[in-house]
Structure 1
Amino acid sequence: MKLEECAASVVAALEKACIPHMLVGGLSSNIYSIPRSTKDVDFVVKLESSAFLREIECHLPDGFTFDPQITFENITGNVRHLLRIDGTPLVVELFELREGDAFQSERFRRRKSLHLPSLNRSVPIPTAEDVVVQKLRWARPKDLEDARGVMAVQGSALDYDYIRKWCLELGILDRLETVRRTVPEI
């Protein structure tokens, strides 16, 4: 199974289960930047309870299985559910929306639907500005490179007042300025 088929299957299952969601991670930054390879598919989901995981699983093709162990994302503390696909190295990560995190709530509220030809469907995604802030927040080398790429490709179309506001609130304004100084001209 290809990554795009996997993502499309999960989007279809989330829609059938009526779970509010958005595609995040490498695939969402690829929409706004120079694409890079990735071996996972990430979503933020708004779950009323973990019982909804069974509802999602019911709508997935055979071979998709949730890992019984719940994990936590280190930076934001979001609950993470791993979905494995038999016979592939692909992993789907479903991050539960944390309502107590003002940025996460705002990012989720601002999501927009975009038709992705590679998935042959419309998918909710974060705005380019929200991708930049979240990538700066995670701050792994590949995340900083993603943020730099989004800034380079989107250029003056980005709302830097919005980005600065959230970076200031999250205590990462210095990181924004450091990365911004290294953005290549395209």
Structure 2
Amino acid sequence: MATIQTIPHFDIKSGYRPQSEDKTPLADAVDFYRLRQLTNSQRLQLGASLTRWAKIVSLRGMRKANPLAYSKRFAQSILGSKWLPILTPTSDPSMWTQDPSEIARLLHPILETMGIPYYITGGVAATAYGDPRTTRDLDLVIELDRKNISRLVELLEAADFYCPPGSVADIRVARSRVLSVTHITKVLNADLILNTDTDFDRSKMARRRLEALDVAGVEQFWIASPEDVVLAKLLWRQQSQSMKQWTDVLGIIKVQDSQLDFDYLWHWAEILNIANDLDRAFTEAGLFGF
């Protein structure tokens, strides 16, 4: 006989903000109560499923809208115009609907081989710690000496990654610290971001965590801590005013709740001049008194 899950009473505080405008605060609170019952890897799998489904729906829509132009539209929409002369889907489009965690499985052994410390951040990390959502690519921060960029590119290309020569040259002469790579056969993207030599960036690398991407807990990857993801997204939002960054922050706080290191958050929020934003995020996530 099926049992009905008991949902506790929720004291919705003034200022609580749902993740979307069409959801009531109570419905939002119930959703996050359920998300808190999941592990980080289970939330990652939810996000992966959403990403795959979004791609599948997009492909079906393009095929239905114009079957004859489907191949060209696919390449332009999914790959971007720069890939159109090189790559077009020739077989089962399911190969193009993998989620960004697939690229982590390819990059991890390369970085481990070179002894390059790294951590996953961005949308994938926000999904692990907060509200699962779709995300197009993977963001990794790496601790790389620029003089070793040629060796890294050599290993990446041997594993079927495309590394834009211009970006490699810019990194070599310190004009840039971001290398956007694409796996040729899987058509998955990742941004490899060179860590900067600031106290906060060193702290983020030191506090990274080994987390599982699969439910079984077999595959483990380095991911930024939830506190550092919150702080980084608040910093990014200060520049971009992105609502996506804000909802990611609220999602992490709602899920992690009292498990967050509030002393650490306030310490760096004051240093980074984002204390007011952090205070507002606590209010909209329903947390007070920390």
**2-side partners of 1:183 and 1:47: how far apart?**
36
Query: Does residue 239 of structure 2 align to residue 126 of structure 1?
Result: no
Other structure's SS at 2:132 match? coil
Cross-structure match for 1:94:
192
2:188 alignment partner AA: L
Q: TM-score, normalised by structure 1?
A: 0.85
Q: TM-score, normalised by structure 2?
A: 0.56
Query: Does residue 211 of structure 2 align to residue 114 of structure 1?
Result: yes
**2-side partners of 1:180 and 1:128: how far apart?**
14
Question: Could you tell which deviates more after superposition, 171-180 or 78-87?
Answer: 78-87
Give the 3 Å change call, closer, same or farther, for CA 175–39 of structure 1 in structure 2.
same
Give 1 or 2: higher strand fraction: 1
Q: Is the 8 A contact 1:57 1:64 kept in 2?
A: no
Matches within 5 A, 1:128-143: 128-139=226-237, 140-143=242-245
Q: Is the 8 A contact 2:101 2:213 kept in 1?
A: no
Give the number of the structure whose alpha-carbon radius of gyration is greater. 2
Cross-structure match for 2:266:
164
Cross-structure match for 1:31:
128
**1:99-134 deviation digits (Å, cap 9, x = unpaired):** 1x2111101111121222169521111111111111
Q: Is the 8 A contact 1:128 1:158 kept in 2?
A: yes
**1:72-98 deviation digits (Å, cap 9, x = unpaired):** 9xxxx9711110223665321011011
Unpaired runs of 5+ residues, structure 1, are: none
Unpaired runs of 5+ residues, structure 2, are: 1-94
Give the 3 Å change call, closer, same or farther, for CA 63–105 of structure 1 in structure 2.
same
Give 1 or 2: higher helix fraction: 2
Runs of 4+ aligned structure 1 residues displaced above 4 Å come to: 59-62
Count of aligned positions: 180
Give the 3 Å change call, closer, same or farther, for CA 94–167 of structure 1 in structure 2.
same
Aligned-pair identity (%):
27
Other structure's SS at 1:70 match? helix
User: What's the C-alpha RMSD, in Å, of the aligned pairs?
Assistant: 2.5
Other structure's SS at 2:210 match? strand
Give the 3 Å change call, closer, same or farther, for CA 25–143 of structure 1 in structure 2.
same
